[in-house]
């Protein structure tokens, strides 16, 4: 079969760019197609040129030295030596209109009594509520952990798979434990594309994907047809369910059962002197309109401070969101120096998810179609890249 590319990747988030990087490093001609006008997906450093280029993360917030696949990519890009340490600043609870210390919600004796179960209780097949109520106590889960986990995944956490949170990974001791970059985490997707080893086309709307011989034909809405020997879909599950070729009916049906959580993110920037607020990592909201607020205080700027508020969808209108965020920060809206809005989406995983992934992998076995994203192992960048790498090995074999 005549093909235009050895490998086409649909989606230019970190999963798709990682998949493209892995194949391009093997000398395979690789094309990335992205529907939006930007790359990076959930990695989104909102930059404000009018404020001297000050930025605040509106999506992914942190990288760790346990992110082995990410670090191997940073090594390839020469970025490992450019990591910036994150200052250790703490979170606060936002409850009943007040900022409170995390310790105020902990029941220490209950936690101590439950701790022995931490090494005995299995995570497999259990929900976050079931597992963490058992190992740290029901009251600790109700008053703190439930809200902390919601803040991490920006959606209700009770029925989320416990296995998908805090997966243990080996750490690289030559790298800072928690890090970012001088220009934010968007430095990673930007560097992946800038190396020029694979082609990226943004603003690409796909009409249909069909099999053609052993490969694939991708038809765009403008009528263009592009052929490839291998295909990777690095898109959210609802999009994947629409794009998976009809011959993969079993895979389509399985993917269609995975939900998505919508998040309305408001980014606010203030001058340093506008806030009477000590440095903090962010706020964990308890029964409020937002799940969490994450600050940029981990990498201080001389003039500005930035915050990303992750709101529950449809609860507040834009003006009310601004008032709510300003109340939590103890400032009036007229002191805002800049703001932006981002619509984020994350997978809404539920109990039984990993059994579904096993069934999906069985349906894909022996084919040239790969599926990746932050909806397989968990929502972190490393979880996404771990899936991209394992799918790469399945398609192209392990490198020798």
What one-character DSSP code corresponds to residue 161?
B
Q: What is the pLDDT of residues 188-242, one digit of tens each?
A: 999 999 999 999 999 999 999 999 999 999 999 999 999 999 999 999 999 999 9
Helix (H, G, I), strand (E, B) or coil at 226: strand
- As a whole-number percent, the residues of the chain with pLDDT over 70 amount to 99
CA angle 223, 249, 28 (to 5 degrees): 55
Token pair 């003006």: residue: 319
Res 237: pLDDT:
96
Q: Does residue 121 carry a pLDDT above 90?
A: no
- Contact by Cβ (8 Å): 360, 258: no
Cα 356 to Cα 251: distance, rounded to the nearest angstrom: 10
Indicate if the pLDDT at residue 400 is higher than 60.
Answer: no
Average pLDDT of the chain, as a whole number: 94
Number of Cβ within 10 Å of residue 27's Cβ equals 9
DSSP character string of 69-124: HHHHHHHHHT-GGG-EEPP---EEEEETTEEEEGGGG--HHHHHHHGGGGGTS--T
**More confident site: 304 or 170:** 304
The domains located in the chain, with CATH, are 5-42+186-257+352-396 (3.50.50.60), 104-164 (no CATH)
The model's pTM is 0.94
d(C-alpha 134, C-alpha 286), whole Å: 21
Residue range 152-195, pLDDT digits in tens: 999 999 999 998 987 778 899 999 999 999 999 999 999 999 99
């Amino acid at each position: 079969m005549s093909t235009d590319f050895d490998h086409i990747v649909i989606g230019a988030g970190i999963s798709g760019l990682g998949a493209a990087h892995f194949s391009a490093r093997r000398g395979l001609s690789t094309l990335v197609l992205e529907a939006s006008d930007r790359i990076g997906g959930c990695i989104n450093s909102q930059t404000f040129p009018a404020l001297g280029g000050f930025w605040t993360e509106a999506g992914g917030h942190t990288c760790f030295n346990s992110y082995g696949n990410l670090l191997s990519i940073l090594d390839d890009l020469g970025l490992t030596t450019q990591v910036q340490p994150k200052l250790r600043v703490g979170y606060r609870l936002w409850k009943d209109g007040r900022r409170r210390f995390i310790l105020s919600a902990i029941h220490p004796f209950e936690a101590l009594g439950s701790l022995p179960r931490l090494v005995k209780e299995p995570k497999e097949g259990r929900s976050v509520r079931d597992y963490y109520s058992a190992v740290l106590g029901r009251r600790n889960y109700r008053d703190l952990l439930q809200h902390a986990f919601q803040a991490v995944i920006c959606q209700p956490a009770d029925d989320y798979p416990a296995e998908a949170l805090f997966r243990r990974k080996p750490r690289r001791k030559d790298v800072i434990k928690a890090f970012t970059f001088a220009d934010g985490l968007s430095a990673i997707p930007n560097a992946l594309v800038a190396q020029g080893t694979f082609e990226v086309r943004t603003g690409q709307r796909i009409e249909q994907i069909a099999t053609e011989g052993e490969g694939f034909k991708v038809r765009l809405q403008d009528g263009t047809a592009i052929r490839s020997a291998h295909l990777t879909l690095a898109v959210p599950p609802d999009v994947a369910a629409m794009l998976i070729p009809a011959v993969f009916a079993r895979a389509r049906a399985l993917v269609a059962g995975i939900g998505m959580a919508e998040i309305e993110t408001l980014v606010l920037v203030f001058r340093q002197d506008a806030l009477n607020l000590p440095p903090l990592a962010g706020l964990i909201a308890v029964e409020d309109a937002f799940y969490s607020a994450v600050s940029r205080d981990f990498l201080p700027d001389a003039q500005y401070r930035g915050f990303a508020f992750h709101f529950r969808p449809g609860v507040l209108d834009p003006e009310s969101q601004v008032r709510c965020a300003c109340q939590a920060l103890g400032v009036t809206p007229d002191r805002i120096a800049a703001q932006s809005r981002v619509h984020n989406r994350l997978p809404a995983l539920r109990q039984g998810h990993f059994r579904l992934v096993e069934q999906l992998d069985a349906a894909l076995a022996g084919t040239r179609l790969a599926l990746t994203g932050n909806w397989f192992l968990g929502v972190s960048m490393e979880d996404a890249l771990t899936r991209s790498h394992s799918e790469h090995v399945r398609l192209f074999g392990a490198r020798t």
